A and B are shown apart, each in its own frame.
Chain A
Amino acid sequence: GAGVSQSPSNKVTEKGKDVELRCDPISGHTALYWYRQSLGQGLEFLIYFQGNSAPDKSGLPSDRFSAERTGGSVSTLTIQRTQQEDSAVYLCASSWTGADNQPQHFGDGTRLSIL
């Protein structure tokens, strides 16, 4: 596709349930990032993947959060035992390389609401 694709666009779930968020980066982009954005707030870095290297998980807020990137392409962010404070927009971005002088291209995000 032309841009970063995220699914679902909206997810409403009950507290305690697990959720999976998907990100399909721009073809050829080796770097992939997940961010969280709470209402009216800035971007909070969660996790970074670069090619086949071990991901940087330093931004994950708790061990309920995990992410995978299969085949260096599609990524899944999983939140287990969701809490109300997990409600936010989860944004995925990709770039050609992991160098931070590369522009990041964002998807439309998944709006997660925990009831």
Chain B
Amino acid sequence: GQQVMQIPQYQHVQEGEDFTTYCNSSTTLSNIQWYKQRPGGHPVFLIQLVKSGEVKKQKRLTFQFGEAKKNSSLHITATQTTDVGTYFCAPSGAGSYQLTFGKGTKLSVIP
């Protein structure tokens, strides 16, 4: 499967601060999926981006797909303690059934 690198690996923010995680690939991606895993929980699908330059919003979360479809980002505005968890990206739609997840970005929110 296609490989991606997620940065940063860890991020600690004060509650109310913004947070961004990046997912980068050396090759052009077809689609990309984002998942969130709460501590002690299982990954939960958040969104799939398909189009070049696509931007999708879910409340305080903003997802972007780069123009060249080689990178994606997840931005959280005004973090809350409920945002704590690990955010994974996974390239998709290349014709393989197998998702190769990035290593994830672990977000801690200090109240």
Contacts and interface: CB of A to CB of B under 8 A. Distances in A.
Nearest to A93: B43
Contacts of A101: 30-31, 48, 50, 92-93
Given A43-B88, A101-B31, A91 B96 contact: no
A103 B32 CA distance: 11
Interface string A18-50: 000000000000010000000011110100101
A104 B94 contact: no
Contacts of B103: 41-42
Contacts of B48: 101, 103
A105 interface: yes
A106 interface: yes
Listed residue (A50, A99, A107) with the most chain B CB atoms within 10 angstroms of its CB: A99
B44 interface: yes
Listed residue (B31, B88, B99, B106) with the most chain A CB atoms within 10 angstroms of its CB: B99
For the side of the interface on A, what is the size category? 20 to 34
B44 A106 contact: yes
B42 A100 contact: no
B41 interface: yes
A95 B59 CA distance: 25
Interface of A: 31, 40-43, 45, 48, 50, 56, 91, 93, 98-101, 103-109
22 contacts: A40-B106, A42-B101, A42-B103, A43-B43, A43-B88, A56-B97, A56-B98, A91-B42, A100-B93, A100-B94, A100-B95, A100-B96, A101-B31, A101-B93, A103-B45, A103-B48, A105-B45, A106-B42, A106-B44, A107-B42, A108-B41, A108-B42
Interface of B: 30-31, 33, 41-45, 48, 50, 88, 92-104, 106
